[in-house]
A and B are shown apart, each in its own frame.
Chain A
Amino acid sequence: MKNEKVISQKDFRPEVNMKKRSLRFSRSSLCLPYGLFLALFVVLPLVLIVFYSFTDQNGSISFDNFIRFFSSATTLTTVIISILLALATTVICIILAYPVAYILARSNLNKGGTLLMLFIMPMWINFVLRAMAMKDLLTLIGVFGFNNYVNVVIGMVYDYLPFMVLPIYTVLIKMDKSYMEASMDLGASPLRTFTKVTFPLSMPGIASGITMVFMPTMTCYVISDTFGNGLITIVGKLIDEQFTTFQNWNLGSAMAMVLLVIMLVSMWVTGGFKSEDARGTNL
């Protein structure tokens, strides 16, 4: 009986239903706040950066900023030094993080996740404080001060190691053990199983570790300032100076643009690296 009532309502009073429907949120209208957020905080700043980088200080269109950037030996050296520092940091992070992640994921040492927590916890401590403390510690034990570049790399590795450990650990812990068993079953020794199966399959973890370490290390000048005794400048510092000290927003924006392109290129390289290895043409 109840059902019939509903049907008759629909039939005789369609306008009621229409009204009700128009009051409902459609799925796309629910996206509106997010769209607004994106427009306001992502697209607009980007447009502003592009605008500033292609105009001079009077507001007229020019390529002067880029020309200045690429013709200055100091800035170019800074960029190259930044890239090299970031590269060194990333490579060292991989070398240190992989065994750590592997042991954490495979052995019984990490029962209950305590050990993993110890590796991850520094990420939650204020980053400037951590850098300062590390510097003092290194000075105390006498490792600090041989070479400013080495110091900066030490500092960066210290700060970014957890970002490399975590993604590799996640990939390893989630990896189906039957792959390793299948490899052993087919005659591979434990070492070969690692090189032919475990390592290639953990490539996505390494790749995401790279994106989480390489890119931030190029701009994070807090560490280079602290550990380089103020003598090492990286791209991030250069941009900061343009915006604060020199008040040249146009050149600063242009630098940010160049950095963005470098980032995209490095992302593309790691992405390509990832899919290349996923097919395993190296076997």
Chain B
Amino acid sequence: MENKREKIIEIKNLTREFEDGVVAVDDISFYVRKGEFVTFLGPSGCGKTTTLRMIAGFDKPSKGQILLNGQDISALPPNKRPINTVFQRYALFPHLNVYENIAFGLKLKRVKVTYEDASGKQFVKKEKLSKKVIAAKVEKALKMVDLEGFEKRSVSTLSGGQQQRVAIARAIVNEPEILLLDEPLGALDLKMRKDMQLELKEMHKKLGITFIYVTHDQEEALTMSDTIVVMKDGVIQQIGTPTDIYNEPKNSFVADFIGESNIFSGTIVGNRKVRFINTTFDCVDDFEKNEKVDVVVRPEDVVLKDEGEGQVDGKIISSIFKGVHYEMVMKVGKSEIVIQDTIERKVGEKVSLVIQPNDIHIMEKEFTENKYDGYITKRNTVCFGDGEFDCDVTQLYPGSFLDEEGYLITTEGDKIDLTDVDVNVEVGLKDIEISDDENAGGAIGNIVSMIYKGDHYQLIVRTDENEEDFVFDTEDTWNENDRVSVVIAKDKIKLSLKQEIKR
């Protein structure tokens, strides 16, 4: 039934580029059905408020269309749109009292009234609403937001919650087709916010108006909306119902933003088999073999067992009581997994975990760079991917150089010993070469995959010890299972510090 309702608003390829070149909204398209409660969700700066402001008419799109009931309204000024807004900081007129604030829109309204003149001809006149009608409507709106008797109060004497209610009443009294709400509960305390969430939801049901809501609070979005639009960097990441978005996040950003998640990078190792945290798990998603993927596991979906009884063993390294459950962190090899369980496991206890195939969410990963955890050796080389490579350590501190003893001298003249410093290592797909000569490169492994990509092959070399993968593009042909060594030019290894070095 719901899907058959007509689209009230449709956004087509909407882009907003500010004068300083910042693209706040980047070519987004979506639609909202009549009577729906839609929420834009995303971190600050993701473009959600800019999108809302364009729908309201305060911001002009650089490109694209906003269709209201099929008609492009992007050129209309805000006062010509049948849309009302509840502002982030309410924007109640301080020079007017509660009644005058709510009646503001009604006093400007003109309605068409049909009359008959003496000869029986009908004619239409635009008229103001009568004082009586306005008073009745204001009274109704005040009742709706539970503020009867507040008509004469000055808005500056109201509490935050009451101002919020007046702002809502001021908008809904005009009976708009769409009500826009820009983080309306942001300034309220937690308890008040929870109450208002339910009240807004109730109001939405009663009024039947389409609500478009903007928030950065994922819980608020999950509680209130029919549909959630998750945004990041001006781009829509996912559109779906709260359950869809929670259970089937499309990418690791959505998974991370909605609820708590463990996110690992994994590799598909067989038919519905994925390998992460050094263990192969069964999963339900179909992906190409050897594809690099993001694996998302919700903390509540990990089941703890005694040591040796689960899929992989590990050790509890922290445990915090959170009211209903314990939040524990388990260390498996180098990885950490957050687990929520009602049964406490003590810190240091050896345990084992089980994850059901259904609870392993696999997402495509745009693979553009090999990333490794590494450390600097005494000889100022870097160890990563089960190998040791020559590198340029001076890139860690711009303008620095090495002295004869191998210490790094920074521009400020500090002398730094880089031995055993942890670093992030990045190597591009085009910067890796392989050689038959096992002594030529820094690491040794077998070619486990070779995929033809039109004009080149994408190869994966996997090391023996820790199963580290080197992914790269090459135009040469090799054979699977060839044993090769990995060669990376000194200047192609990009290093960054994991944390500031204490001097």
A interface vs B, CB < 8 Å?
A: 176, 178-179, 181-190, 192, 196-197, 200-201, 203, 277-280, 283
Contact = CB atoms under 8 A, between A and B. Distances in A.
A66 to B, nearest CB: 41
A187 B105 contact: yes
A200 B101 CA distance: 14
In the A-B complex, list the 7 residue pairs whose CB atoms are closest, starting with the nearest. Answer: A186-B105, A178-B91, A182-B91, A280-B95, A184-B78, A187-B108, A200-B95
Given A176-B91, A179-B91, A182-B93, A189 B78 contact: no
Interface of B: 56-58, 77-79, 83-85, 87-89, 91-97, 100, 104-105, 107-109, 154, 170-171, 174
A189 to B, nearest CB: 6
Contacts of B100: 280, 283
Contacts of A182: 85, 87, 91-93, 170
A188 B97 contact: no
Contacts of B91: 176, 178-179, 181-182
A192 B282 CA distance: 66
Given A178-B91, A181-B91, A184-B79, 13 more contacts: A179-B91, A183-B104, A184-B77, A185-B79, A186-B79, A187-B108, A188-B104, A188-B108, A190-B77, A203-B95, A278-B95, A280-B93, A280-B97
Contacts of A184: 57-58, 77-79
A123 B262 CA distance: 65
A258 to B, nearest CB: 35
Contacts of B89: 176, 178
Contacts of A278: 94-95
B95 A185 contact: no
A156 to B, nearest CB: 31
A185 B154 contact: no
Contacts of A192: 108
B108 A185 contact: no
Contacts of B104: 183, 186, 188, 196
Nearest to B80: A187
B95 A178 contact: no
Contact of B174 (A186, A196, A197, A203): A186
Contact of B154 (A176, A190, A279): A279
Contacts of A277: 95
Contacts of A203: 95
Contact of B84 (A176, A185, A189): A185
A181 B95 contact: no
Contacts, number: 77
A203 B79 CA distance: 24
Given A181-B78, A181-B87, A186 B170 contact: yes
Nearest to B110: A187
Given A181-B58, A183-B104, A186-B170, A197 B79 contact: no
A280 B154 CA distance: 11
B109 A185 contact: no
A188 B79 contact: yes
B280 to A, nearest CB: 55
A125 B179 CA distance: 54
A280 B96 contact: yes
Nearest to B82: A187
A176 B87 CA distance: 12
A277 B95 CA distance: 7
B345 to A, nearest CB: 40
Contact of A187 (B56, B87, B95, B174): B174
Contacts of A183: 93, 104
Nearest to B156: A278
Nearest to A184: B78
B178 to A, nearest CB: 12
Interface hub of B95, B104, B170 (most chain A Cβ within 10 A)? B95
Contacts of A186: 79, 84, 104-105, 108, 170-171, 174
Contacts of A189: 79
Contacts of B105: 186-187
A224 B323 CA distance: 80
Nearest to A187: B108
A77 to B, nearest CB: 40
Contacts of A187: 79, 105, 108-109, 174
B174 A279 contact: no
Contacts of B77: 184, 190
5 contacts: A181-B56, A182-B87, A182-B93, A200-B95, A280-B100
A200 B83 CA distance: 25
Nearest to B170: A186
A185 B85 contact: yes
B99 to A, nearest CB: 10
Contacts of A181: 56, 58, 78, 85, 87, 91
A109 to B, nearest CB: 16
B110 to A, nearest CB: 9
Nearest to A193: B79
Nearest to A181: B58
A190 to B, nearest CB: 8
Given A185-B85, A187-B79, A197 B154 contact: no
B75 to A, nearest CB: 15
A280 B105 CA distance: 16
Nearest to B173: A186
B411 to A, nearest CB: 35
A278 B93 CA distance: 10
A203 B96 CA distance: 13
Nearest to A176: B91
B108 A178 contact: no
A66 B127 CA distance: 60
Given A183-B104, A187-B105, A178 B87 contact: yes
Contacts of B88: 178
Contacts of B109: 187
A233 B57 CA distance: 57
B9 to A, nearest CB: 16
Contacts of A190: 77
A197 B105 CA distance: 12
B427 to A, nearest CB: 47
